[in-house]
Amino acid sequence: MNQILSTNLNNDNDELNNNLDNIDNTKNSNKMSIKKVFKIQFTISIIIIISTISFSTYYIYSLRNKEKISENLIGNYNIYKLYNNVEKEDETTQNNLFGIIEIPKINLYYPVFSTLTEENLKVSPCKFYGDSLEDAGNVCIAGHNYNNDMFFSKINLLEQNDEIFIYNNIGVKYTYLVTENYEVKEDDLSPIINYNQNEKNLTLITCNNLNNNRFVIKAKQKTF
């Protein structure tokens, strides 16, 4: 009888030990799986971080290059006027640059292309509506908003009576005073087509990257 009990007890012990071993193996297996998953997640995170840093670095580098192109464009533009003693806008200059825009309050100074294309916009602001600064009408200039100090990123900070200077291709300076600062939907054309036809108007437009609207700055030419 004792032998039977002893045998049963031994069997139970063996089974218990086997179960404990199985539990330990399962735990170890789970630990290994968790470690493996953690390693995979860690590796993916590192790849994402490196990719983000690389993209950001390239993006900033690309913007700085465009800024340099714009600065070189101004330099070449000024040299052209100096050495050619330009007294009137010739066809070559007119087809490339509309003039220069300066806004002291936000430290903005850029050449303005006479035609709007995506490639031109990447380099500098572009005129896309209107003709002469000397005649009544509405001259519209668009520029990119990179949410930094470049191009039209800060025009939304302009307030009523802030000054905007436009220089044409023969160096004549036109002064505008801000009258309005507002937003419109991206498909709203009213800032372009709605204006007093008896006045000399200037409209600056850029994107609001937070809501896909457009920042609009309206100004009128100052008379002396």
pLDDT in tens, 164-200: 999 998 889 999 999 999 999 988 999 998 898 899 9
The fraction of the chain above a pLDDT of 70, given in percent, is 65
The answer on pLDDT for 147 being more than 70 is yes
Instruction: Write down the pLDDT at residue 37.
Output: 66
Mean confidence (pLDDT) of the chain: 77
Spell out the residues 6+ positions from residue 222 whose beta carbon is closer than 8 angstroms to its own: 163, 175, 176, 177
pLDDT value at residue 79: 42
Question: What's the pTM?
Answer: 0.64
Question: pLDDT digits over 50-83, tens only?
Answer: 777 766 666 555 556 655 655 555 554 454 444 3
Residue 22 pLDDT greater than 70, yes or no: no
Give which of 224, 222, 188, 221 is closest to 205, Cα–Cα. Answer: 188
What sign for the dihedral angle of Cα 192, 129, 221, 159?
Answer: positive
Range scoring the smallest mean pLDDT among 29-43, 76-90, 120-134, 159-173 = 76-90
pLDDT at 224: 72
